[in-house]
Amino acid sequence: MRKSTKSSREEDALQEFVRIFNMIRRVNHALAHASEESALLQEFCKILVETGGYAFAWVGLAEAEKDKGIVPVASFGTNGDFLAKLTFTWDDSALGRSPTGAAMRTGQPAVSQDLGNDPDFEPWREESLARGFASCLALPLADGPRPLGVLTLFADRTGAFEAAEVELLSSLAEALTFGLEALRARKESQRCREELALKDRMLDFASEALFVHDLAGRFLQFNQATYRELGYSPDELRQLNRFQLEPPEFAKLQEERLQELLARGETVFPSAHFRKDGSVIPLNLRSCLLEKDGQKVILSAAQDATRLRQAAAALKQAEERYRNILARARLGVFRLRLSDGRMEEANPQLAEIFGYGDLNEFLNDFLLTKRFVDPGTQQKMFVSFKNGELDRFEARCTRKDGSIVWIRMSARLSPATGYIEGVLTDISETKKLEEDLHKAEEKYRVLVEQQLGRSLLYAMERNRLKQEISREKELTDKLIAHSEDGIVAFDRNFRITLWNDGMEAITGLSRKKLLGKGLLGILPFVKDLWDSNPDLFAGPVRNILDSHRPMRLSPLSPEGYFNAHFFPLKNEAGEAIGGLIVVRDLTALRKAEEALKEREQREEDLKKAEERYRLIVNSLPLIGARAYADGAMDFYDDKIEKLTGFRKEDFDSRRLRWSELLGEEAWKNRLQAIARASQSDGSYTLDYRIETKEGKSLWLQESGHVSLKADGSLDHIDLVLFDITERKRNEEMAPKLEAQLRQAQRMEAIGTLAGGIAHDFNNILGVMLGYAEMALYSLKEDGDLKRKLQQILKAGQRGKDLVSQILAFSRPGKPERKPIKVSPIIKETLKMLRATVPATIELVSQVDEEKDTILADPTQIHQVLLNLCANAAHAMREKGGVLEVAVQAVDLDEAAAAHYHELAPGPYVMIKVKDTGHGMSKEVMERIFDPFFTTKAPGEGTGMGLAVVHGILKAHGGAITVQSEPGKGTEFQVFLPRITESPAPGLRERPRPDKGFGNILFVDDEEWLVEMWQEILENMGYEVEAYKSSHEALEAFRARPEKYHLVITDQTMAHMTGFELAKEMLRIRPDIPIILCTGYSEVVSPEKAKEAGIREYVMKPLSISELTGAIRRALGTESTSLKP
């Protein structure tokens, strides 16, 4: 069945939301973890195709201004050789009018919604349509006037790039631009740090001391060789003065050398420095004059003169040694057998060279091929033979004692005879001499090169300084003339002497017209400055404009943001001769800052939007996922763990498949739903049950959309899961809730009926009790008649309690707990039950009346016993049996209380209700306290009885247990906390009321009650004025309010209730005592009556003693007299 249009729109919106959310999430992840520019661009294109759903994405970077080409650097999608076949430029030509070129050229997004009909897309149309591309969007990657590159997207449908889509993609392009700039900034920063470290290393690697000091001799900077040669630590050297390190014979020449250096710019002179240990280092110093931070400083290179002399002496000694060695050189002659390398003939010098004292021993023992030290020497020797001759071949060999000897050999090979004949020389000393000579030459060469390099450097630096001095004036003039900052100079009279091009550009005022004119009339802010600072020319350099406040420099110049500094000009004598003002136009900078703030705000808005998306997804009662044909599932977030107990990683790693959570039947139904969706619009919805890790059963609703491969097989399913367990539970509970509602409606109807009956019945009881009590008071002696009257009063009191129970059961209010004894309630319950159960059921009670006091609501305890006994009777109604109710005081210690997990150790009253009925199974016993569970036939029970019993007992701090077996009956045990407080006394013999005095206004709409109470009160000594109409009573009170000492009124009366009558009377006379009587009222409570000013609120029917007690309380005295 196809889903409705509304459902389709909701699913489309959900899928679009998931697409955008995943695209933003992957882009943020790529930006956060990017380390290489190319990898970031490639990953960005991949995200837009895989997650964004576009056919093809590529990024191109701009070539130089001259070529104006666009070079592809990253791409992803079904492009084939698309980019290789086509050319993209950003000049204003036919090849530059594609969206890619337009976006690069204008710095704005460019879109073509229909590539087949866009005339500007003609050069690329054929290749694009061949690959299924229908629309195109190009986004500049720009953070300035000229884009760095361009991001181009192709879609497989026309009109794919709507305004909202373009806005979203533009935000992503801005994020990509920011990421590229951040990567490039990090690389440039790293390059600068490495270059600075290399320069520092080069200086520290130098063997000579290099240092910089000011004209006073304070060290400012030095390399490692400086403090290493002098023996000081860097911190110690910074505290020393360079001139103080020179011996006295050199110190007296300091001023002369300084003047020479200042005059020539560089100089070379001999000197010496004291080391930390007191020794003296003779030096050759080369110094040049430099400028650092506006101050003249001296750069010096110090060379140890002693080391130079030592190096020259060492070189001379090495040369002499080499000549001596050559003079003493020895020459060995040999004839070597080619077949085995053994010496056939040799002279004694050769044996001596190899450490042998005896020639014969040498000939017998020596094999040249076995004496080569370096591997491959033998092969190298044979390769070195040229035309049968070996010339000056050198090699390392071992002597007899194992030491190494360098040899040089020249020989001739005679293949015909099989011999090699030649001469061999020991060149070990020569090699050592060459090595020493090489080291000396290298050291000398380095020293010479350094010396020549420094000389050349000093010459070049001196020439550069001369050229800079000669160009300084010209350069200053050019800087002033062409500076973008506005520069104006003036004399003491504020006549303009300089007005550069920058000032013309900023103000729009021509230099030719202003030179010699007064500055104060042209630039108002200068006049304001002069007026507020009369000592302007004597003051320091100062900032004179607020760069954050827009202003006009002159009346005709445009408004903008400016920064200006005033510099006083002085002659050689220090006298002020004028001033110089440099004005910088910060308008473009402020606009750039505003643009940057707007961009930062957009980025912040994007972050907030992403956060909102994340919060929305996390707060939605759904779980997004992608499912595959093999039953695997990739979930988008971790909410699946909260739902099922299984971690998201369990599904991602394929250790757990979704099919394992479903039953066989549910999985089969799911596959069928997917198959049907594949043949229609791809959408489906189904409900099924899963089992969580804890074994709990949950109902889920799955809504998904099927994506197929080109061959029609399943590729994947994008779906959402809803937890509908509560909805399913509600559907199962609906019939039971309806039954509960019907029961509640019946109880409400009964309550309404009971309230009406209670009012009339209470009035009838009131008359009976009143007259019986009057008769009892009229008897002078005890006798049978007095006993009978007392029984009438007891019966009336029981009727009164019965009405109270009916009202409390039909319209339950707030429970009123008080000390009560359980035994009377059990007896009353069994009496009530005896009239309703069959005679085949025997009722037995065993009651311990000594320790059965509890703190409870008597009506609720009555309800508990009635429910338990009624259930027991129902279980025995067919075959009969015994219903036993017992009460026993028990004391539970910790061990005993442990068997009842809801009870604490202490004293309890245990009530046992036992029957011999059909009993219950273990499965039924586990559910009997569940709401709406019942084993009775429809119409016989609601399933709420035992649930209510359990709730009442738990609220009273008690507990209930059950034991039962099928066919063996059932036993319930109820435990309620026992107290030692005594309950209120029951009905006692009423004392004769005291005589009273005063005038009472009595109001009730029942005639017999009016007559009875009027007679009773008058017999007690009161003057009673009685009314059956509340309106008549109010008129009488309004006529003479001071006449009455007390008002007694009924609540339920026609036309005006007693509560309304009392409020009117209190408005007339606020201090009048009023007693309000009611049989049952949902309108007026004791608290509400007290707030209205009513003194007493009493329940009908009333006894004479109860009314006299109310009168005393209303008057606030122990006497019933109404008069003082």
Q: Please, is 286 exposed, middle or buried when counting C-beta atoms within 10 Å of its C-beta (0-12, 13-18, 19+)?
A: buried
Rounded distance between C-alpha atoms, residue 928 and residue 922, angstroms: 10
Enumerate the domain spans of the chain: 5-189, 206-304, 329-426, 483-585, 621-723, 814-990, 999-1115
How crowded is residue 169: how many other Cβ atoms within 10 Å of its Cβ?
21
- Give me the CATH topology for the region 483-585: Beta-Lactamase (3.30.450)
Angle between helices 5-33 and 37-50 (to 10 degrees): 170
| Per-residue confidence (pLDDT) for residue 754, from 0 to 100 | 64
CB 107 within 8 A of CB 119: no
CB within 8 Å of 359: residues ≥ 6 apart: 346, 347, 348, 351
| Per-residue confidence (pLDDT) for residue 886, from 0 to 100 | 93
CA dihedral 337, 342, 348, 354 (to 10 degrees): 130
DSSP string, 125-170: HHHHHHTT--EEEEEEE-SSSS-SEEEEEEESSTT---HHHHHHHH
In CATH terms, are 329-426 and 621-723 the same topology? yes
CATH architecture of residue range(s) 5-189: 2-Layer Sandwich (3.30)
> Looking at the whole model, is its pTM more than 0.75?
no
Beta bridge partners of 567: 580
| Per-residue confidence (pLDDT) for residue 954, from 0 to 100 | 84
Per-residue exposure over 232-271, b if at least 16 CB sit within 10 Å of its own CB, e if not: beeeebeebebeebbeeebeeeeeebbeebeeebbbeeeb
Tell me the C-alpha to C-alpha distance, in Å, between residue 877 and each of 830, 870, 925, 928, 973.
16, 10, 20, 20, 22
N-term to C-term CA, the chain: 91
Q: How many CA atoms lie within 13 A of 813 on its CB side?
A: 12
Rounded distance between C-alpha atoms, residue 568 and residue 572, angstroms: 13
Give the 3-state secondary structure of residue 821. strand
What is the three-state SS of 53-81? Answer: CCCEEEEEEECCCCCCEEEEEEEEECCCC
CATH architecture of residue range(s) 621-723: 2-Layer Sandwich (3.30)
pLDDT digits (tens, 9 = 90+) for 627-671: 888 878 888 777 888 888 888 888 877 788 888 888 888 888 999
**Homologous superfamily of the 206-304 domain (CATH):** PAS domain (3.30.450.20)
CATH tag, 999-1115: 3.40.50.2300
CATH of 329-426, one of 3.30.2270.10, 3.40.630.30, 3.30.450.20, 3.90.1280.10: 3.30.450.20
Q: Please, is 1099 exposed, middle or buried when counting C-beta atoms within 10 Å of its C-beta (0-12, 13-18, 19+)?
A: middle
What is the three-state SS of 580-621? Answer: EEEEEECHHHHHHHHHHHHHHHHHHHHHHHHHHHHHHHHHCC
Give the 3-state secondary structure of residue 1052. coil
Tell me the C-alpha to C-alpha distance, in Å, between residue 930 and each of 739, 776, 925, 933, 945.
15, 53, 10, 6, 10
Tell me the C-alpha to C-alpha distance, in Å, between residue 524 and each of 529, 530, 542, 545.
9, 10, 17, 12
| Per-residue confidence (pLDDT) for residue 463, from 0 to 100 | 64
CB within 8 Å of 226: residues ≥ 6 apart: 209, 210, 211, 237, 302
Q: Which residue has the tokens 């019993």?
A: 949
| Torsion over CA: 137, 143, 144, 146 (sign) | negative
389 — phi, psi (to 5°)?
-125, 140
pLDDT averaged per 10 residues in sequence order, the chain, 1124 residues? 59 78 85 86 91 91 75 82 80 84 88 91 88 92 78 92 89 87 82 73 73 85 83 86 83 79 85 86 86 85 77 64 47 84 87 90 85 87 84 91 91 83 87 79 64 54 61 62 81 88 85 85 84 76 80 84 86 82 86 84 80 64 83 81 84 80 87 90 90 87 90 89 84 66 61 66 76 75 75 72 60 68 86 81 86 85 86 87 92 82 86 92 79 62 67 85 90 91 56 71 90 88 92 94 93 90 94 88 81 90 84 72 49
Rounded distance between C-alpha atoms, residue 371 and residue 378, angstroms: 10
CATH tag, 814-990: 3.30.565.10
Rounded distance between C-alpha atoms, residue 127 and residue 136, angstroms: 13
771 — phi, psi (to 5°)?
-70, -35
| Per-residue confidence (pLDDT) for residue 318, from 0 to 100 | 55
